[in-house]
A = this chain, B = another copy of it.
Amino acid sequence: MSLEKIAVVGASGYSGEELLRLLIRHPGAELVAVTSRQLAGQTIAQVFPRFAGLRYADLAFIESDVEKIVATGARIVFLALPHGVATEFGRPLVAAGLRVIDLSADFRIKDVAVYQDFYGEAHAAPELAALSVYGMPELYREKIRSASLIASPGCYPTSIILPLHPLLQRGLIQPGSIVVNSLSGVSGAGRNAKVDYLYVECNESLRAYSVPKHRHLAEIEQELSLAAGETVRISFTPHLVPVNRGIHTTICCAPAEGVEAWHITNAYTEAFGREPFIRLLGETGLPDTKHVVFTNFVDIAWRHDPRTGRLVLLSAEDNLTKGAAGQAVQAMNLLAGLPETTGLL
């Protein structure tokens, strides 16, 4: 099997590090470049001691320069950059004929007005946002295969869209009734030296944040609205809790008239029963992030509550794997024509 040549731009954060963890062991990929402004010249092992002794340990970071990246022969490029910076690299790389998988939010929002509302500035590249495919294989598998630009989904969105999509698509729940509460590990805040994310500030601490308007709502509602065929607005409260990795999401919503528990079970089986990275725990199981961390799985369970008539949907994922780098590699496998689970099980 000839290996797909891969570059990673901006691998200094937690998502970039997770990408490296996956690519190092990926049997179908050849990592030809890692780039970073501040790390150029250092090897992967120097920057990430955990990767010493492994494949690519001695690969040195190069400058994040488009020409240099193209010169490496890379065919697929991951962008693991802060919000707002991805456009700068995405445009010339796509123009140069490389296929780009962006882990930031830059290309996820199709409606530039929504983007401006949530991100507080005009969209820098509407034509790329229009071109991009939302990189969730369970929803857009075929489009991903032929895409030139993948907007890889956010961590919260993955944990929220997947449990809701099959139900909204089938009209099984009332779109206006959705209340979402998510818990996230601290790696979700990035490798940023801020007092708020110091060990002592996060350990033995439980707190909500970005109430009531977290930026991820933009892409969540975009995809849920597409599923429902109508505008969906949800309540979403994210919480920061003291684990390194993992997101747990709990969703309350009202079933549509006449919907019973078995309709829900059937919908999930139909939509996800053959998905390699969705594990359906059914009406008795309960997700636990400790069973999904360091994997690309999303675990989903559901309950009907006869007391209130509501449904409770629950999901767990690793925010850095299925919620970021793992899902991006899943998309890469599709782009490269590899079996979708390559390097991910």
Contact = CB atoms under 8 A, between A and B. Distances in A.
Interface of A: 14, 25, 49-50, 52-55, 179, 181, 183, 185-187, 191-195, 197-209, 211-213, 217, 233-235, 237, 239, 241-248, 250, 252, 276-277, 279, 281, 285-295, 297, 299, 303-305, 307-308, 310, 312, 314, 316, 345
Contact of A252 (B199, B205, B235): B235
Copies of this chain: 4
B200 A198 contact: no
A237 B235 CA distance: 16
Contact of A200 (B14, B205, B297): B14
Given A276-B53, A303-B212, A312-B237, A207 B288 contact: yes
Given A204-B243, A241-B241, A49 B288 contact: yes
Contact of A199 (B202, B239, B308): B202
Contacts of A202: 199
B181 A200 contact: no
Contact of A248 (B203, B208, B217, B235): B208
Given A205-B290, A235-B305, A308-B234, A50 B295 contact: yes
B212 A287 contact: no
Contacts of A25: 345
Contact of A191 (B183, B198, B204, B294): B198
A287 B207 contact: yes
Nearest to A289: B206
Contacts of A307: 212-213, 217, 233
| A192, A297, A308, A316 pick with most chain B CB within 10 angstroms | A308
Given A183-B239, A207-B248, A234-B308, A345 B54 contact: yes
A293 B49 CA distance: 12
Contact of A212 (B242, B243, B276, B312): B312
B279 A252 contact: no
Contacts of A204: 204, 243-246, 289-290, 293
A235 B312 CA distance: 9
A277 B167 CA distance: 43
A201 B53 CA distance: 21
A211 B286 contact: yes
A275 to B, nearest CB: 10
Contacts of A247: 206
B289 A205 contact: yes
Given A198-B191, A233-B307, A288-B206, A239 B244 contact: no
Q: Which 4 A-B pairs have the closest CB atoms?
A: A212-B305, A181-B181, A199-B202, A206-B248
Contact of A279 (B52, B248, B314): B52
Contacts of A293: 204
B191 A193 contact: no
Contacts of A248: 206-208, 239
A239 B250 contact: yes
A255 to B, nearest CB: 13
A201 B55 CA distance: 23
A314 B308 CA distance: 21
A54 B276 CA distance: 9
A52 B278 CA distance: 10
